[in-house]
Amino acid sequence: MELQTKQPPELEFSMPEVEESLTAYLSAIGGAIIGLLLTLLVLAIWNGGTLNFTNISRVNAVQAGLTDVAADLESINTNVDALGERLILLEQEAGAVAALQQSLTELDASLTDLDRTLSEQGIQLTELDSAVNDLQVTRRNFDLFTAALTNALAQMQTGTSAARTESASRPNDRRAAGSAASQAATRATTSQLNQQAQPALPYPEPAFVLSTQVAPNALLVYLFLDVNADGLFDSDENLIAGATVTLTSPDGRTVAPEKDVGAAGTRFVELNAGQYTISVEDVQGYTLASQSSAAVTVDPDAAAGHIVYFAVVTTGAD
């Protein structure tokens, strides 16, 4: 049996690494020696050119100076620390100021959006008011159109009735017909009867307006010349004076007016709560273009009183 012997491991040895380590060691020793020599040089200069420190007062002075320097350094360190803390606080305050400026900017943007929204809503409300006014005018025009249509239908029915009456009045034997004068009289009589039977045109109601210029327990009544036949009093239309206005209380009594309001208009004041009836009569030279009477409710606790406008047209105008 053969014994196997192992070769010892080879030691890795590198001359460059040894040289680098030796150089670093010598450099460290050289630095220490140079530092020591510089220290001795400084001490020799301080001691008047000798290293013999026989003057104790100088040594004590040096120690006191070093102590003062150490105290000053400690004070400087304290001041530097305080300054660092103050800088940190300033940075935090700067961050807070920046955040506040950002919040103010966002608030300004929100206020701008709010103003824009309010403006748009204001425009929409204005358009809605205009649409309501147009709708009222349209309703008045529709009432007038309905009245005209009713009148036309009534005239058509009248014409049909006249034709039937004329046909019935003729005898079966045309040779027995009366004279031309008798037929004309019959037609005139029939036409007069039909005109008497013709129904009256339905007029629109007078216009009611709430106004803070009138007390809640008062009423103000005007007649106006309705030029555009819309039933509403416009700024370019004229008021009519001389009308007889009657106000009837809920219990049937006639309420006396306070006085005439300028050249036109009638005012009733100190009215109790309840439903009153206003009646007007035609003014000479004019004809009512609205209903001659209307009911109005008086509420003394309301915020405003009523102004009632009755429309009239010139007599003979269609």
Between residues 45 and 167, which one has the greater pLDDT? Answer: 45
Determine the average pLDDT of the residues in 36-55.
70
> What pLDDT is recorded for position 205?
87
pLDDT-derived band at 208 (thresholds 50, 70, 90) equals very high
Percent of the chain whose pLDDT exceeds 90: 20
Q: Range of 221's domain? A: 207-314
Cα 243 to chain centroid, rounded: 44
Task: Classify residue 194: in a domain, yes or no.
Answer: no
Length of the chain: 318
Between residues 29 and 239, which one has the greater pLDDT? Answer: 239
Q: What is the pTM of this model?
A: 0.39
> What pLDDT is recorded for position 179?
47
Q: Which of 223, 253, 201 is nearest to 313 (CA)?
A: 223
Determine the average pLDDT of the residues in 8-16.
55
Other beta carbons within 10 Å of 220: 22
Task: Classify residue 253: in a domain, yes or no.
Answer: yes
pLDDT-derived band at 89 (thresholds 50, 70, 90) equals confident
Task: Classify residue 127: in a domain, yes or no.
Answer: no
User: Is 70 exceeded by the pLDDT of residue 260?
Assistant: no
Task: Classify residue 45: in a domain, yes or no.
Answer: no
Residues 33, 35, 36, CA angle at the centre, nearest 5°? 65
Average model confidence (pLDDT) across the chain? 76
Residue 310 belongs to domain with CATH number? 2.60.40.10
> What pLDDT is recorded for position 197?
40
Half-sphere exposure of residue 168: CA atoms within 13 angstroms, side-chain side: 7
User: Is 60 exceeded by the pLDDT of residue 1?
Assistant: no
Neighbouring residues of 196: CB distance < 8 A, sequence distance ≥ 6? none
In the 8-state DSSP scheme, what is residue 176?
G
Question: Which pair of structure tokens corresponds to residue 156?
Answer: 């058509």
Other beta carbons within 10 Å of 136: 14
pLDDT-derived band at 47 (thresholds 50, 70, 90) equals low
Determine the average pLDDT of the residues in 3-25.
60
> What pLDDT is recorded for position 251?
94
199: left (phi over 0), alpha (psi -120 to 50) or beta: beta
Determine the average pLDDT of the residues in 94-109.
86
User: Is 80 exceeded by the pLDDT of residue 268?
Assistant: yes
Report which residue type is found at 176: A
CA pair distance 313, 117, nearest whole angstrom = 46
Task: Read off the pLDDT of residues 231-259 as tens digits, 9 standing for 90 and up.
Answer: 889 989 999 888 889 999 999 999 998 76
Q: Of 47-56, 158-167, 214-223, 268-277, which range is least confident?
A: 158-167
Determine the average pLDDT of the residues in 196-200.
45
pLDDT-derived band at 218 (thresholds 50, 70, 90) equals very high
Task: Classify residue 121: in a domain, yes or no.
Answer: no
pLDDT-derived band at 299 (thresholds 50, 70, 90) equals very high
Into how many domains does the chain fold?
1
259 phi/psi in degrees, rounded to 5: -170, 170
Task: Classify residue 155: in a domain, yes or no.
Answer: no
Task: Classify residue 4: in a domain, yes or no.
Answer: no
CA pair distance 224, 309, nearest whole angstrom = 7
Task: Read off the pLDDT of residues 162-181 as tens digits, 9 standing for 90 and up.
Answer: 555 555 445 444 444 444 44
CA pair distance 166, 125, nearest whole angstrom = 61
Other beta carbons within 10 Å of 140: 21
Task: Classify residue 251: in a domain, yes or no.
Answer: yes
